[in-house]
Structure 1
Amino acid sequence: MPTAQQYKALVAAFSITFLEIGTFKSFGVLVSPMKEELQTNLMTLGFAIAVSHAMGSFFAPIISKVTESIGERLTIIIGGFMASVGLILSALVNDLSWMTFCFAFVGIGSAMSFIAGILAISKYFEYHNQSTAIGVSYAGGSIGVMLCPPVVEELKKLFGWRAALALVGATNANLIVCGMLIRPIQRYRRIKPSTQINQERTSREKFLKIIQLWKQKLLQPFYVLAVKPIFIAVLVARLFSTMIYSGWAIFLVPHAIDKGISPEKAALLSSIGGVAAIFGRLLPGPILDKEYISVVKLIVLVSLLNSGAYFADHWLYVFWTLSLGAVVNGFYFGLEPVLAFPISVDVLGTDLTRDGFSLTFMPSAIGEMLGGFLIGKYSVTVVS
């Protein structure tokens, strides 16, 4: 039976993913007014928005080591502050270059909170229902995908896109509260030097030792690729998956509007995809914990299903058919990230899981930036 502190940690991780992924998905309803006011194109704007979600993932191995040093709680708090401030500042700038910089700041802060939250859950539920707990944590993102875009759409109508973005930033300050709910599992005690003279004599040696230690820590995650080269296939799969996700998250609403769907119904597609993603988040945990199917077979099965939905999109122009496509896509994008941790365990083993899991965020970062850029470029080509 989970303890009260385990439930608190689960609520915190659930809320973090709700805010992090819900915020990213909400950019879709702000694309059109941002494009007009900033006088840019979808290709460039798509890249800038993708940076908000990708930059932090690119630095995931470093974030993982920072979390080891200062703990999950403090990492989440610092990340929440960065995400909130970055979003508020991005609502004030008039230049896309500065906005991209602010979005990068947001991305690093969001990733710090997100990665630390998942790592905390993996510790709290290390010996019981770990996959289920991680799936529940990720389900917060699916509900964020479902609820945030319609709310931001209404805020945009009432106050304009800048005020709506600033309010989203203020809401992200709740990540700090989420960090407060996480308590360290292990407590460390400081060893006081015996004499002040000894402390002064060894201070330079300690500093050099810390520098050397951090060099080893930063390179340590890449060691798993030498030990288990097959894990490269997992990283390549994550690259292509997140390329597709980035385009879906940013351009689903504009894409539906281009097909003749009203803005209100187009925003509703995000909610429909979010509902499907909830099932995608929650389904794999019990299945994998009870070993009904291997994680590799599960990801292959849902990938084939998602590919079929994208292939059929060319012929979908009616709202209910687009809704079916959103259900399949949402289910896949809900399930795929949840499998990153268990597939790291399956391929690498328990000892290398933490480093391998942090590495999966790097191809995600590259994929998200490429997805926003390339799909935006394709949209410009098709429209012109």
Structure 2
Amino acid sequence: MSTRIPFKAGSQLVAMSSLELLLAAATYSSLGVVLPFMVMDLEWNWAQAGFGFTVLGAVTGVASSVPPLLIRRLGVRNTVLIGGLLASLGLYLLHGVNSLPQYYIAAAICGLAYPMMASIPTTFLVSRLFQRQSTALGVAATISGMGTVVGPLMVLGVLALQGQTWRNYWEYQALAILAATVLCVIIIGLERRFSRPARDELIAPEAEPVAPAIMPDQVETAPPRRGRNIYRTSVDWTTKVAMRTSQFKILAAAYCLNMMCLVTVTSLSVGHLIERGVPETVAGGMLSIEALIAVLIRGFSGVLGDIFDPKHLVSFALCATMIGCAVLALTADHVMLLFYAVGTGIGFGTTQLACTVLLLNYFGRKYNLELFSAMCVTGAISALGPLIGGVIRDVSGSFSLIFLLLSVLSAGVFMLVLFMKPPYPEELPASVDEPVGDADIEYGQLAE
């Protein structure tokens, strides 16, 4: 089997991943570094400033339901373009912020734009361009994940220039996002089908025979495709039926918990460790190690997802997260803290990718746009993590309990994933009287 990637497919993958890298660097990765300067100039308190993170994260999660609607009606290229224009507007508004309402509105606009330019359109492209989807998603996640590394460096680089302030930084980022978006949509447009409304693909071409819908009692007519001991459905499950399965609910729970652990550890771990007597440089260094491991493990996990069942990757990642959060809660020993950094880094770098691949393997690609979006919407709940952690800190005097709670939740979801089996139509509840989905068709024009 050839592993050569056609230039057009590869360039589209790199373009989308690079745009997400720049977007992540310009928003989540930059805001925490810029905020101290904004707080000092605008005389805010940290509760007011930190709420902007909550607005950004919550809107990003809720707005994950928007890209499928736009992609089905306008096409993925135009969806990315709209997202880029909104992101540029939000970042430019940050440049002119003088009050808290302006700050929150700008953060909300950036949050609305984020899912239109990030993993949802990227997964849509990958599922239609590549047969080795796990590997391609791993490459995309590795590139985009570098945003967490370069974001702070971009802030410090601009502020190091004479006469440059945080307002200049947001202005430059707005222009950079706009230019990157224009280049990205041009490259995406090289494939005509990505310029057309994606709802067209839900209608079978007239030249191809339409197979009858598969009912639960007819499963034997559509045996699942298997390869390398990896389950891959032969049925494109409809959105409603797939969302009723326990497998979808478990994957959504794993994705949501991973996001909650990520934002909570990122926002609270440094303060927690400093309170326990760990030097600032060590506390910050552990967070940097975690971020680096998360970036590096994504590409490796993507390759493994085409060799081993991604369910095992999710199980391993949740177990690593469980250990990492427990160590963070219970110890301040510098050597032991490496287990926290490595464990959470593996968990954060693997869980989202493996859940995305499992969603494709279990339910097919035709309705994956809606299913993946629904899974991403649960990420809005993750914005509550830092808030709950703050309340626990105010009540108990320590952050330890929030990290122990996340460790226990990770253990619970780990057990659910460990014993999870692939979804089979005959196992659906008797009350489900809808067709499971469309019979599998040959996916043409896929790059290996």
TM-score bracket, shorter-length normalisation: 0.7 to 0.9
| Secondary structure of 1:94 counterpart | coil
Q: Larger relative contact order (C-alpha < 8 A, sep ≥ 6)? A: 1
- How far apart are residue 188 of structure 1 and its match? 8.1
Shift, 1:181, TM fit: 1.5
**How many percent of aligned residue pairs carry the same amino acid?**
23
How does 1:273-352 map onto structure 2 within 5 Å? 273-290=290-307, 292=308, 294-314=309-329, 317=332, 322=337, 325-352=340-367
Q: Which amino acid aligns with 1:136?
A: V
User: How far off its partner does 1:315 sit?
Assistant: 5.1
Extract unaligned runs of 5+ from structure 1: 191-219
- Structure 2 CA distance for aligned equivalents of residues 316 and 9 of structure 1: 45
Partner of 2:243: 225
CA distance in 2, matches of 1:62, 1:112: 8
CA distance in 2, matches of 1:262, 1:167: 30
Equivalent residue number for residue 193 of structure 2: 186
Q: Distance in 2 between matches of 1:30 and 1:379?
A: 25
Instruction: Pick the aligned partner of 2:56 from 49, 52, 55.
Output: 52
Deviation at 1:358, TM superposition (A): 1.3
**Pairing 1:149–2:152 present:** yes
In structure 2, the CA distance between the partners of 1:152 and 1:72, relative to structure 1 (3 Å rule), is: same
Note the 1:250-265 alignment, pairs <5 A.
250-252=267-269, 261-262=279-280
Distance 1:317 1:279 in 2: 25
Change beyond 3 A, Cα 1:318–1:99: farther
Aligned: 1:76 with 2:80: yes
**1:139 equivalenced with 2:142 (yes/no):** yes
- The 3 A distance-change label for structure 1 pair 40 and 323 is farther
Change (3 A) 1:376 1:151: farther
The whole-number CA distance in structure 2 between the counterparts of 1:27 and 1:253 is 16
Q: What corresponds to 1:371 in structure 2?
A: 385
CA drift of 1:360 comes to: 0.9
C-alpha deviation, 1:334, in angstroms = 1.6
Counterpart residue type for residue 236 of structure 1:
A
**Contact 1:261 1:319 (8 Å CA) reproduced:** no
Q: SS of the counterpart of 1:93? A: coil
Cα distance in structure 2, aligned partners of 1:316 and 1:150:
30
C-alpha deviation, 1:229, in angstroms: 4.4
State whether residues 77 and 195 of structure 2, in contact with CA within 8 Å, keep that contact through their aligned partners in structure 1.
no
Q: How many residue pairs are counted as aligned between the two chains? A: 348
User: What's the offset of the Cα at 1:10?
Assistant: 1.5
**Does structure 2 conserve the Cα–Cα contact (< 8 Å) formed by 1:221 and 1:359?**
no
Residue number in structure 1 paired with 2:111: 107
Deviation of the 1:308 alpha carbon = 1.2
Structure 1 CA distance for aligned equivalents of residues 332 and 153 of structure 2: 21
Aligned to 2:265: 248
Amino acid at match of 1:89: L
Report the equivalent of 2:229: none
153-162 vs 91-100, which moves further = 153-162
Greater CA drift, 272-281 or 107-116: 272-281
How far residue 297 of structure 1 moved from its aligned partner, in angstroms, is 2.4
| CA–CA distance in structure 2, aligned partners of residues 108 and 41 of structure 1 | 25
How many Å apart are 1:255 and its aligned residue? 5.0
- Two-structure CA RMSD over aligned residues (Å): 3.1
Question: Which has the higher mean CA deviation after the structures are superposed, 71-80 or 172-181?
Answer: 172-181
Distance 1:146 1:189, change over 3 A: closer
The one-character-per-residue Cα deviations of 1:277-311 (angstroms, maximum 9, x if unpaired) are 12321122221212x2x222221221111121111
Between 1:62-71 and 1:146-155, the stretch displaced more is: 146-155
Greater share of helix residues, 1 or 2?
1
Correspondence for 2:223: none
The 10-residue stretch of structure 1 (275-284 or 253-262) with the greater mean CA deviation from structure 2 = 253-262
Residue 267 (structure 1) shift: 5.5
CA contact under 8 A between 1:145 and 1:273: conserved in structure 2?
A: no
Amino acid paired to 1:364 = G
Show CA shifts across 1:112-166 (max 9, x none).
01122331222111xx211111111111232111222233244446544443344
Q: Is 1:86 the counterpart of 2:93 in the alignment?
A: no
Equivalents in 2 of 1:49, 1:335: separation in Å?
Answer: 24
Q: Which residue of 2 aligns with 1:5?
A: 8
Q: Tell me which amino acid in the other structure corresponds to 1:3.
A: P
> What amino acid is the match of 2:145?
S
Gaps of 5+ in 2: 198-237, 400-448
Please report the TM-score for the alignment, with normalisation by the length of structure 1.
0.79
Matched residue, 1:97: 101
The counterpart of 1:362, out of the listed 377, 381, 384, is 377
